[in-house]
Structure 1
């Protein structure tokens, strides 16, 4: 029972993406002066900084701050906030992008950090990554290769997770990879009541973990499938995933980066399609209404799946990763996993740059033809907003953008609610 509760708890965290940062005694508040944090190119920006304790300014608080384009903060200085409040001159930007102010307050020997990021006409950001001339042909062949692999679906009922209205299964499917087959695992939740239902594929954020399945959504009358990407069962003891993440699966996003046919994410992307193969084969599926959602790496996979699979009718990516990754090579922030930043000069090779272009979310976003609900924040340090806007700007389908400027790599409860309400509206109203 303790194991199951832990797995369900971890799954809930994964389902809700990332939690809001923990409260601390000292609060550092940083914000651009414009209410929407958005400026015209060339327009000067000032950052308001407050250091608060119990809601009141901390007099004579010492701060150290950096200002500059995100991931390239260059202006460094320190000052004392006589009254606990100050306005810092941030300068401006002469091109579309994001200017970030990071502040560290040192109070009673402890450091408290926060940041704010001003946007400069982000709708004008264009991708740094190039589209390979054979991109479509490459992925058409990959899909054809996957289609030749029998699904060999195996379902194991998990009685301890079932509810009065939902059956929960651990599922295992055969997936494709260049040098043989591998299994894909996930948690399937199906309404018990006889009938036909829409389906939702939940794709995971980065890491190695167990999953509990999206029972709550299934109770509303939607088949849900939450998958892992690593070819391992998703119901094992939590310590196993910790050990794998620290060992064989450490930095999996770099595996075979110099070979587009063997790169780790090839079978990951194809695994999302295999998951859809399974969902549409279920007798309970209504035959038409299929959506995909996820955050971070899952946001990337949501866009990739929608771009590759015409069976997907809606996609709801939250702060997508794997976006415009070569931005660093063009002097601006690139997306997670930051494989081309200054800390990874060994990746700056022609072969690795070429491989990355076949897997960059930007190039899949150009092929999305279905309605898209897109959510992100300006303060994200894991998935920089420059990279995420490079994706959003090339989506040509009907798209809805919801900004939560203050958020980093986490979401407000209201944001999660809005994403799910959008999905419910599409899947249940059109049922």
Structure 2
């Protein structure tokens, strides 16, 4: 007689060390991101490192430092797809690797370059007819459901969420238990500059727009400024805490969306416990793989899209360095280029790149003639739409190089505008 779903689930319960039975020499393992990281499973892999050889762990945004990240487990090599505070020093020291990418392309790149053998993730407890949920982080791992076997950690505190993030027990080779609170990042400090930038962006968001807004001081202030709006929709990479008030106030309804009407669509969420409680068992929030949420063609189907993302430095051509200052890497491209392109492809869409006009002490301009040597161009000049500082909005799309230079100088810190004008002339831009 065939076993029941409940019996199948019970039979697959294992200690975390059982993951080692599914990892051979040269194995390529995909590890879910941030709160989706299965800490107990990674602990077991590191503890059993003497049994492993040439195994690679592929992960974006590691939430905490680990011996394998720091190159201290000979059988394991960490491959980062987006640097975090837990991986930056290790990368600069040569202990782990970094793969340049656009977030939307990560599943495809992993298939081509790594051909994964196993996915490890933290999931919600099983429910219904044998389904686990990937909880707060569908991201790139959801793209491998049905393709690659999963070994999962069932975290009692992981919220059950909905969307294309449902993992059936038939795709699981083993699971272990955990009971661990989700990470709640510290609230960002908000400055007068942040408030000024947010106000400039908020006044350019009409009723009925579909939003992609990241996490951080400016995004939170933008969302806090939208309380009088109506019928907003959400199709975003990261669903942050700032959206919750708007959803509970009835500002976010999604009724004018062209796709997933009435639904909030995201690939991950990160924020407060209130946020995690909001997405738990909430069919109004759908988590989808990043190759769907960040696909520019999908984004462009929304007729009035607004994308808001931050950068570190912008040059006179409009090139945005969002992941490094010079050759010093801080992060990676993430979804910024995906949403910048999707927003301008939207019929009445617009994208905003936000940054302070200068460093915190006003000694270095963030609007520059040329990016620093070695800088990685995250969002290139042809798809940059609007650049926003606390001094205004520089509309770049369709503008000549001379117009771009003038408009960017106009939103630069006043202390640098004369010098920047001279430099623009020296470059032949003015």
Instruction: Decide which structure has greater strand share.
Output: 1
**TM-score, normalised by the number of residues in structure 1:** 0.25
TM-score (norm 2): 0.25
Considering Cα pairs closer than 8 Å and 6+ residues apart, tell me whether 1 or 2 has the greater RCO. Answer: 1
